[in-house]
Structure 1
Amino acid sequence: MRRSRSCLSCVPMGTAALPIENHFVAPAALPSVPASDSEDGGFGKGSIDLGGLEVRQVTTFAKVWSTTQGGQDGLGATFFKPSPVPAGFSVLGHYAQPNNRPLFGHVLVGRDTSGAGGALLAAPVDYALVWSSPDGAGHFWLPTAPEGYKAVGVVVTAAADKPSPDEVRCVRADFTDACETEESVWSSDKDGFSASTLRPAVRGIEARGVHAGTFLAQSSATPAAAAGVSTTLACLKNNSASYTSSMPDLAQLNSLLAAYAPHVYLHPNEPYFPSSVAWFFENGALMYQKGSSQTPTPVPADGSNLPQGGGNDGGYWLDLPADGNQREKVKRGDLAGAKVYVQAKPMLGGTVADLAVWIFYPFNGPARAKVGLIPSIPLGEIGEHVGDWEHVTLRVSNFSGELLRMYFSQHSAGTWVDASRLEYLDGGDGGGSRPVAYASLHGHAFYPNAGTVLQGNSGLGIGIRNDCARGSRLDTGAGRCEVVSAEYLGVKEPAWLGFEREWGPRDEYDIGREINRAARLLPRSVRERLAKLVEKVLVGEGPTGPKMHGNWRNDEREA
């Protein structure tokens, strides 16, 4: 018997249940956060005012159509309408999700609270059919917005009739922002149909675009395409003068970190551990100045003598102690006393709080490569550098305080993972049911699971190894978290955070020569390919501090 394409409940006997048939249940209850000490504080209140347009999250759905073929992991996708909808609120679009994960997501619904002329929400004047499923049980419609308004989402129906104008609302154009596709939900090669999730095109601390949770449906062989109808949708926009009013205050931030601060597993063979910044300075780290004949300068524990601002002009840099024995001690870090440093920032128009958890390693170890059947090739000094800053980011809903996603930095980019797909350390193991991250051997890149990730060409079997396994554990909670930056709260930042130069000297080794020395038995073409990969993945100069990374004011960079 074949699986039904239209109904999740019609999976044949003997077939394993699809992951999406289960709602994701967080391993622990939502954190109990203290009430805000601000009059306009709205964190965790369930709704957010976008400047006259009040929006709420709906996380419960009624299934409209599904397929169990194609898509991610070959398990298909399911399309839902939000249900129930709070009284007085209007649907802005429907929800879609691949079937290879538990049901976990939301769409925003809205109501006009402006009380002024010119309604912020309006019914569509028509619908354009984007695509109908081969089984005739799923029909995808694009709302036609009235002049001065934009559609935010697609409507899916089980019947072939056009939806009612009351099914969805369009949003006045000045309360919308440009969006882009993020993740493919499902596609059909036969007729060019595709469904993808959406996100604001511009994302950063000051960007006002709001993620509505809707999706884009497109097809090259539909009436809408033939008629030249645009299938472009918009995201919402936060026009509130105080768009950070729903962000958590300092006490609430500490409660969120107590609930979500991750456990970091280091590899069992890892020799280079993290430390606190103060320990690094107290144990002999030195500051050098370009062109100076003077001896390098010791740095006090608070970094108060470090030059502030100025960008990374190469005028100063940090290095390990000059004494050989002390140098080796500092390279190995201080796991027992390590701390993590948190930046809290508004994202997605102030509807989520991003908590970037930064970890400092005094030293980054040498890289290793895999080439074909040769599993591990040490690359000499390649990858080694002083002063290694790595981070994960927790994305928390300002509607509910729920953990939505977690970002894992991996060298020059990284990956977002939904909360439903994270690994959690069971509370019975002293973990408090908090998420887990794995730091790769020597390189300290973060991954959501144990195992080996090859950065390079997996088809040719050539790449940089990132090996992750459960060794020593760093609990980033338990008093280790320090909120060092939250601009919207005016948090006073430590002096070392304002040091914009490099936290280690520039490497002087020749990449080609190091590879020829380490892998001299490999064919020349393979060595050249490996050299290009190293130049792309591994930075050849001392890294800068957190503030000089692009994600400090913008969204995370994805691989």
Structure 2
Amino acid sequence: MAFIPGHPFLLKNVLVQNVLFACLILFPALAIQSGGTSRHCVEDSTMGNCLNASSPSSVVDSSVKMSIASMLIDNAFKLPSSLPHWPPGGGFAKGIIDLGGLQVAQVSSFTKVWSTGEGGPGDSGASFFEPSLIPEGFFMLGSYAQPNNMPLYGWVLVGKDVTGNATGGSLKKPTDYDLVWSLESNAETDQDSPVYIWLPKPTDGYEAVGYVVTATPQKPSVDRIRCVRSDFTNVSESHDWIWGADDFNVYGSRPQDRGIQASGVAIGSFVAQTNPNSSVVLPCLKNNANKNFSAMPSSTQIGALMKAYGPVFYFHPNEVFLPSSVTWFFQNGALLYTKGNQTGPVAVEPRGSNLPQGGSNDGAYWLDLPASDADKLRVKKGNLENASAYVHVKPMFGGTFTDMAVWLFYPFNGAAKAKIEFVTLSLGKIGEHVCDWEHVTLRISNFDGELKSVYFSEHSKGEWVSASQLEYQNGTNKPVVYSSLHGHAAYPSTGQSLQGIGEIGIKNDTAKGGMSMDTGLKFSVVSAEYLGKEIVEPPWLNYAREWGPKISYDIGKELKKIARFMPGKMKSGLEKVVKDLPSEILGEEGPTGPKWKDNWSGDERS
């Protein structure tokens, strides 16, 4: 069953939607039992999915009429294909990670506690869950919540004390609970029961990192959950609104400090805010294992991950500026210029061995296209047959996840186009620049090697998209990426994205043309710092200066050429949009390489 990418689970036609609706009513367990190997399960007696008779909170009043949107979450998303058997070695995909005295495991099976069909993203409601099928000796740390407008594809961590300290271990029962929020059911609300959200009260030296959710007003047992010793916690922040009612809102949570050296570990649970101005967020976990990245993939496992998940890029049918390998660019006449000696550029060696290494972007050097016009035109077009993806592998969330940034290199970035209400205009030279680096990032769980989300870089920022919302290539687990026309920004779906104000902005058009690139077949791992000297970085990666010359055109003059026939309101709107765009879109100067972007050592901007 195919879903339209970028429009969560909007089916391709009404007939198919009606058929799916009927199937979900008659055979609700089918979506759980078919598909790949993701171990997500909803224990819900009314839906027939993994019935847990011992959990009365999972029983939903069958008289409540659930909408299509709310039914989506009652069916677990599975990757299109089964996970492969990862090559053996190290702690990757072993199911349990030791944080230095606190073992954690990732649980994706849940018992539904409460659901509402109103509020939240798309006014589709949200559902709240407790983890189930918890491994022997492990304990719940927090509950899970998700909007109803997508199938269930969440996880939470559960913990086990392995400090050997009987009185001051890494986990301890709470002493009591505080009722954070409750909502009684009535005829005017679309909910399946009352709901009560409880915050554990920890003993001194411990922290609550999650909530307990019940459908009854009785306080839960203190055996239900565990609090975490303070030195195993770190500062977190809220993100991604899940649901809200009046002054009560539920958000996802993630470590505040994220990157290669950061030790914060995401729990996967939610945070509740009863005051819209409150900045108080429950802490996340912390990896105390002294930068022990034993759960990160080996070089052999990295290759297997790229083979399984390497994105397939589709280029617009009208694209003329395609990617190439860096070596092809150098071998076909790329020149290195030195400030003060612009008349004496030198040819760049195939691996970039004669490029200045390290330093900073001080304007002392820059790269440019070949000297002759004919060679310029040829190199601008790139060479798709020769193109390669360049992969940077780094730990995320304290080494419990792996981020694989997949970079493509383009010798040239074409001119931008603007949409002015119903009119599309070329912006002349605005947007053109020599060389373009674009990327997507795969976020993979180190507990089992499963793809969890993909980051699509879209010029100066981008967006994380859950694995459940992606388009995949022909039944594989390879995400599909659409490269925008001329600008090469990455998008999860075809269509038009507009950067601007209202109906005025810069167009980013994507379409599924005949040209594509499977990065799982054509890639090179250029950096994985945690592996030490095992991965040798190519010299061009450590070139800190610009990959193109500064452009000398006057943006004001270019705008006047374009806007001279426009009404005043449209003209001023276009001028504002263009002037607010970042330099990499304006094309005023060439970009720096991947290693000099903020996301190289940190998290992605979204």
Aligned to 1:388: 436
**1:214 aligned onto 2:269:** yes
Of 72, 75, 83, which aligns to 1:19? 72
Shift of 1:338: 0.5
Question: Residue type of the partner of 1:377?
Answer: L
Structure 2 distance, partners of 1:313, 1:399, is: 42
**1:511 aligned onto 2:568:** no
Over 3 Å counting, the alpha-carbon distance change for 1:206 and 1:188 in structure 2 is same
Over 3 Å counting, the alpha-carbon distance change for 1:69 and 1:110 in structure 2 is same
**1:532 aligned onto 2:573:** no
Aligned to 2:463: 415
Of 449, 473, 478, which aligns to 1:401? 449
Over 3 Å counting, the alpha-carbon distance change for 1:34 and 1:166 in structure 2 is same
Aligned to 1:452: 496
Shift of 1:164: 1.1
Aligned to 2:370: 321
Of 149, 152, 155, which aligns to 1:100? 149
Shift of 1:343: 0.2
Secondary structure at the counterpart of residue 166 of structure 1: coil
Shift of 1:18: 2.4
Shift of 1:122: 1.1
Of 433, 447, 462, which aligns to 2:504? 462
Aligned to 1:120: 170
Task: Please give the per-residue CA displacement for 1:507-549, whole angstroms capped at 9, x wherever unaligned.
Answer: 2222222122112222344333323322333413210000110
**1:298 aligned onto 2:355:** no
**1:259 aligned onto 2:298:** no
Over 3 Å counting, the alpha-carbon distance change for 1:156 and 1:387 in structure 2 is same
Of 176, 180, 183, which aligns to 1:130? 180
Aligned to 1:143: 200
Counterpart contact for 1:31–1:256, Cα < 8 Å:
no
Identity of aligned residues (%): 53
Shift of 1:349: 0.4
Over 3 Å counting, the alpha-carbon distance change for 1:522 and 1:112 in structure 2 is same
Secondary structure at the counterpart of residue 131 of structure 1: strand
Counterpart contact for 1:503–1:543, Cα < 8 Å:
yes
Question: Residue type of the partner of 1:211?
Answer: A
Over 3 Å counting, the alpha-carbon distance change for 1:231 and 1:557 in structure 2 is closer
Structure 2 distance, partners of 1:11, 1:447, is: 38
Over 3 Å counting, the alpha-carbon distance change for 1:143 and 1:13 in structure 2 is closer
Shift of 1:334: 0.3
Counterpart contact for 2:202–2:208, Cα < 8 Å:
yes
Over 3 Å counting, the alpha-carbon distance change for 1:8 and 1:388 in structure 2 is farther
Task: Please give the per-residue CA displacement for 1:137-176, whole angstroms capped at 9, x wherever unaligned.
Answer: 1111111221111111111101011111111111011100
Secondary structure at the counterpart of residue 532 of structure 1: helix
Structure 2 distance, partners of 1:259, 1:231, is: 40
Secondary structure at the counterpart of residue 128 of structure 1: strand
CA RMSD, Structure 1 to Structure 2 (Å): 1.9
Question: What is the TM-score of this pair, normalised by structure 1?
Answer: 0.92
Over 3 Å counting, the alpha-carbon distance change for 1:361 and 1:14 in structure 2 is closer
Structure 2 distance, partners of 1:466, 1:45, is: 41
Shift of 1:241: 2.3
Shift of 1:479: 3.3
Counterpart contact for 1:385–1:504, Cα < 8 Å:
yes
- Choose 122-131 or 315-324, whichever is displaced more: 122-131
Of 170, 177, 185, which aligns to 2:227? 170
Shift of 1:16: 6.9
Structure 1 distance, partners of 2:220, 2:160, is: 20
Aligned to 1:492: 536
Structure 2 distance, partners of 1:170, 1:242, is: 23
Aligned to 2:28: none
Aligned to 2:516: 474
Aligned to 1:153: 210
Structure 2 distance, partners of 1:98, 1:279, is: 47
Structure 2 distance, partners of 1:528, 1:507, is: 24
Question: Residue type of the partner of 2:116?
Answer: T
Task: Please give the per-residue CA displacement for 1:323-358, whole angstroms capped at 9, x wherever unaligned.
Answer: 000100000000111001000000110000000000
Question: Residue type of the partner of 1:468?
Answer: T
Over 3 Å counting, the alpha-carbon distance change for 1:247 and 1:291 in structure 2 is same
Structure 1 distance, partners of 2:482, 2:61, is: 35
Aligned to 2:237: 180
**1:238 aligned onto 2:287:** yes
Secondary structure at the counterpart of residue 108 of structure 1: strand
Aligned to 1:377: 425
**1:32 aligned onto 2:82:** no
**1:483 aligned onto 2:521:** no
Counterpart contact for 1:125–1:146, Cα < 8 Å:
yes
Shift of 1:242: 4.4
Which residues of structure 1 form unaligned runs of 5+? Answer: none
Over 3 Å counting, the alpha-carbon distance change for 1:472 and 1:300 in structure 2 is farther
Counterpart contact for 2:456–2:491, Cα < 8 Å:
yes
Counterpart contact for 1:268–1:470, Cα < 8 Å:
yes
Secondary structure at the counterpart of residue 18 of structure 1: helix
- Choose 336-345 or 525-534, whichever is displaced more: 525-534
Which residues of structure 2 form unaligned runs of 5+? Answer: 1-45, 47-58, 186-192
Question: Residue type of the partner of 1:19?
Answer: L
Task: Please give the per-residue CA displacement for 1:75-104, whole angstroms capped at 9, x wherever unaligned.
Answer: 100000001211111100000000011100
Counterpart contact for 2:263–2:287, Cα < 8 Å:
yes
Question: Residue type of the partner of 2:262?
Answer: A
Counterpart contact for 2:311–2:520, Cα < 8 Å:
no
Over 3 Å counting, the alpha-carbon distance change for 1:73 and 1:10 in structure 2 is farther
Over 3 Å counting, the alpha-carbon distance change for 1:242 and 1:14 in structure 2 is closer
Task: Please give the per-residue CA displacement for 1:434-485, whole angstroms capped at 9, x wherever unaligned.
Answer: 110000011000000111011122xx31111110000134333353110000
Shift of 1:8: 8.5
Question: Residue type of the partner of 1:400?
Answer: D
Aligned to 1:340: 389
Question: Residue type of the partner of 2:265?
Answer: V
Shift of 1:13: 8.2
Structure 1 distance, partners of 2:61, 2:457, is: 36
Of 54, 68, 71, which aligns to 2:103? 54
Shift of 1:250: 0.2
Shift of 1:231: 5.5
Structure 2 distance, partners of 1:197, 1:210, is: 14
Aligned to 1:311: 360
**1:553 aligned onto 2:601:** yes
Counterpart contact for 2:306–2:520, Cα < 8 Å:
no
Task: Please give the per-residue CA displacement for 1:183-230, whole angstroms capped at 9, x wherever unaligned.
Answer: 1000113xx110000000000100000000011112249xxx9xx9x9
Task: Please give the per-residue CA displacement for 1:252-272, whole angstroms capped at 9, x wherever unaligned.
Answer: 000000000000011111110
Aligned to 1:272: 321
- Choose 236-245 or 493-502, whichever is displaced more: 236-245
- Choose 527-536 or 12-21, whichever is displaced more: 12-21
Secondary structure at the counterpart of residue 239 of structure 1: coil
Secondary structure at the counterpart of residue 21 of structure 1: coil
Counterpart contact for 1:405–1:419, Cα < 8 Å:
yes
Question: Residue type of the partner of 1:179?
Answer: S
Structure 2 distance, partners of 1:368, 1:22, is: 41
